[in-house]
Structure 1
Amino acid sequence: MDFSIKACDWTKGTTGGFLTGKSDCIVIGVFEGQSLSGAALEIDAATKGLLTRIVKAGDMQGKSGSTLFLHEVEGIGASRVLLVGLGKQDAFGQKAYAEAARAAWRAILGTKIVQVTFTLAQLPVKERTADWAARTAVLALRGETYQFTQLKSKPEPAKHALKRIVVTVDPADEKLAKLAVKQGQAVANGMDLTRDLGNLPGNICTPSYLGETAKKLGKEFKLKVEVLGEKQIEALKMGSLLSVTRGTTEPAQFIVMQYQGAGAKAAPVVLVGKGVTFDSGGISLKPGEGMDEMKYDMCGAASVFGTLRAVAELGLKLNVVGIVPAVENMPSGQATKPGDIVTSMSGLTIEVLNTDAEGRLILCDALTYAERFKPAAVIDVATLTGACIIALGHHHSALFSKDDALAGELLDASREATDPTWRMPLDEEYGEGLKSNFADLANIGGRPAGSAVAACFLSRFTEAYPWAHLDIAGIAWKSGAAKGATGRPVPLLTQFLIDRAGQ
């Protein structure tokens, strides 16, 4: 789809030519119980009070998310007008705007409309700017049009005809809005890659498949890529990581992708993504119900791939390293057993009390490896704990960090990206349950505060740099009728890096 920005000042009566230009549809917002304003007022004047009559008749009451198509409207060039309800104007914040945008796109995608003029980005959204609104509109549309049909025997036809979108903004916002549209498309492309990797089944998306994907990404976007095999991983003394992969025939891969947008001496931001391409639980076998969804246990890795793609497409002026420890966790006669003790790359020994707490075992070695880059910050991303879902459900990802400045940056980015994140406690007391009689630490504690205990485990390997941990177990995919990867937290991570780059 082709997106473009059009500067338009509805208050100065200079839009007559614009309104008479040919298009398939123009999208107009209507607030509940409010008089018409902006583009709606201009359209109303051009159509001799048509919108006013429709509102008075009750056909469009402005209820949030409601839509109404007007056909063959005289006085304007668009063949259709789509009215979108915005709800109460005094409650029109970023959530209401995003819902209005999604409602508009859903209505349009159900038609044969090819070209649309979208005016909602000019609406007054609380604490948000027009460039934010333009980017959000792009992401909302791309989210509505995503399909995963690669593995169906017969290709499915596209469910929409839409090809060209013109987003109108005030003249003063035109420059920033153009950049925002570019950012929105890059983030959407990254999210699509993340969704595709997440949605692939475990018999296709293996650790080796992730390694090949990294190499392809490197060629396309000029990233430096290294994919280490098990002998190289063993030479690095990553005994904790290798303990997870002992039960499978699929070889582990340790993937390192480097994007250089700044000088060679500039300290990079390192993203570490959990890449368990299928998690059976190992000897601590998971229940059979819903186990198919454990193909999504590599969504942390997938989000690192997607974020690096977005960063490279935007050409951000900073250095970013993506590290993906990729393994499969399966039971067999060779698998690690509960009670086994392994030695991590850091030298710390770990008593494996539960082989289903495997994500932290691969991440700890990756976090130790990250030290060699002398990073400005390290953020690990993982579908780490079911306890996170119990705590926060499926709306917020969980943020753990002892670094207030880094945590603040991530929370600011989450709000700007509309990718909700909640900071969780990381007090030392949560790590008390990790004590072992036989090793330096155990890989699990008790049931209480399981996500905080897991974060405390990881923190033992991150003392050399500023670090944050994102537990995305509740937000990386959806179950049920809408089953599929979400592409989160690519928007959060990309916004964080955009902010870091000052772009």
Structure 2
Amino acid sequence: MEFRIKEEEARSGCIAVGVYERRRLTEQARALDGEGAVTQAMRSGDISGKPGSTLLLRGVGGMERVLLVGLGEQGAVAESAFGTAVRAMLGVFATLGAAQATVALPLDAVAGRGQAWAIGCVVAAARDSAFRRDGLKSRKEAAPGGVRRIVLAAKPDAAAKAALAEAVATANGVELCKELANLPSNICTPAYLAEAARRLGRDWGVGVQVLERKQIEQLDMRCLLAVADGSDVPPRFIVLKHMGGKAREAPVVLAGKGITFDSGGISLKPGAGMDEMKYDMCGGAAVLGVFRAAAEMGLPLNLIGLVAACENMPSGRAVKPGDVVASMSGLTVEVQNTDAEGRMVLCDALTYAARFKPAAVIDIATLTGACVSALGHHRSGLFTRSDAAHDMLAAELLAAGRSSGDLAWLMPLDEAYQEQIKSASADLANLGTPGAGSITAACFLENFTRSYTWAHLDIAGSAWEQGGAKGASGRPVPLLLAYLQARARR
């Protein structure tokens, strides 16, 4: 899908204009209504103007096709109504025998949002609708027809061009995250993730270092290795660097959980739905997606990415419930449940993060089913300590979620919850006592982050869709990029 910005009326196979309820026309629709065809269509009741209603007209205003798209009540267009309208518009575009279409919706009229947000909404929805999951089929589906180039009717000034470039870069990052996460675990192994990181290095100039088992052992990442030991597939620890800021500027570190398949280990998961455990590396895929977009944007910020990648499998070598493992930090961990493996690999990654003297560290993980119980699939869980620096980080991440539409919700992380992860035989237990499972998991990670400002994103409910639209969502790439962009503008 290609995108352009053009102020004058583009000679496209179709132009989409907005209409309101109660037979009201947008400025763009009125401009095409010289002969009254749009007004007549509204009066006849052929289109209601409700959000997402559509009507295709031909030969109106000298255009081959004019698509009327309902936006709801006249005035400031509701954000949800605009999104519904865009998705409906794209659904019609996909059926047309035209390669190019012009979007002449009121991009500057969405309540509480600017033109840049509307441009991003159109780009994200268009790329999502064009995303294909049939790459591994022996007989691939025919390439979709319809519109392949979208012209956004707006003044092509520097702000609009920058908004479009950032929206396309974000979409590319989301797409990389989805492509990696959707792959089956026999293809997307830790080594495959490492090669994907190396491709970012070759194609986009990202600094890449891949640590293999011997190097991981030399670092004393015993918690990561305890999870990896049950599998015949070797682990990888991937380090990425985008140094777009000043030479001595403290970096932001993103640490992603990269469990390329999670069987639960000795604490074996139920068989139903276990195929979805290929998505347990979505945190790592999100880190790679963010780096893809950050490099394309030329983000003026120093950024470090860490991906702790391995499989969690049962075998004669696998870590067992009751085992005690020493982490890279020196803290010992009693393994009460081998299916609480994400926090095990992340605790070593978070310890490693301290060597960069970071401005902030954010870990991203499909960590707990308890977070799905708490928040469902709409918002990611956000956890951090409560003090001035952490309150600011939480506020910035929540604001980034709102600006990108990739929402998060701040969860508690009180000291009282630390009582639930005490162990009689080690410094910490990797599983809390019953209740507040997502919070006790975050509390576990918090023990390894006390030398820097830190936040944890639990994306277990937001990282992939279930049902008929099953597949990775690409979240929280938009949230993280919005946060980094805002930070770079300080």
Please tell me the residue identity of whatever aligns with 1:449. Answer: A
Distance 1:30 1:430 in 2: 53
Residue of 33, 36, 41 corresponding to 2:30: 41
- Aligned counterpart, 1:157: 142
Distance 2:483 2:106 in 1: 23
> 4+ residue runs of structure 1 moved beyond 4 angstroms?
none
1:351-400 CA distance string (max 9 Å, x none): 00000000000000000000000011101000000001000101111111
- Aligned counterpart, 2:405: 418
Distance 1:281 1:144 in 2: 34
1:126 maps onto 2:115 in alignment: no
Distance 1:281 1:321 in 2: 29
Distance 1:452 1:91 in 2: 39
- Residue 400 and residue 70 in structure 1: after superposition, are their counterparts in 2 closer, same or farther (change >3 A)? same
Please tell me the residue identity of whatever aligns with 2:392. Answer: A
Equivalent pairs, count: 486
Name which of structure 1's ranges 408-417 and 292-301 shifts more when overlaid on structure 2: 408-417
Name which of structure 1's ranges 108-117 and 199-208 shifts more when overlaid on structure 2: 108-117
Aligned pairs (5 A) from 1:43-192? 43-44=32-33, 46=34, 48-73=35-60, 75-76=61-62, 78-89=63-74, 92-169=77-154, 171=155, 174-192=157-175
- TM-score, length-scaled by structure 2: 0.97
Aligned-partner SS, 1:241: helix
Aligned-partner SS, 1:293: helix
Distance 1:436 1:481 in 2: 43
- Aligned counterpart, 2:361: 378
1:476 maps onto 2:463 in alignment: yes
- Aligned counterpart, 1:253: 236
1:403-436 CA distance string (max 9 Å, x none): 1100111111111111111111111112211000
Distance 1:289 1:83 in 2: 45
- Aligned counterpart, 1:4: 4
1:48-100 CA distance string (max 9 Å, x none): 11111111111111111111111232x32x21011111122367322221121
Superposition RMSD in Å? 1.4
- Residue 91 and residue 424 in structure 1: after superposition, are their counterparts in 2 closer, same or farther (change >3 A)? farther
Aligned-partner SS, 1:88: coil
Distance 1:36 1:23 in 2: 21
Q: Which residues of structure 1 form unaligned runs of 5+?
A: 9-17
Aligned pairs (5 A) from 1:194-343? 194-343=177-326
Distance 2:289 2:397 in 1: 17
Aligned-partner SS, 1:122: coil
Query: Offset at 1:156?
Result: 2.7
Aligned pairs (5 A) from 1:305-454? 305-402=288-385, 403-454=390-441
Q: Is the 8 A contact 1:399 1:424 kept in 2?
A: yes
Query: Offset at 1:217?
Result: 1.1
Instruction: Report the identity percentage.
Output: 55
Query: Offset at 1:401?
Result: 1.3
Distance 1:268 1:355 in 2: 33
Q: Is the 8 A contact 1:121 1:167 kept in 2?
A: no
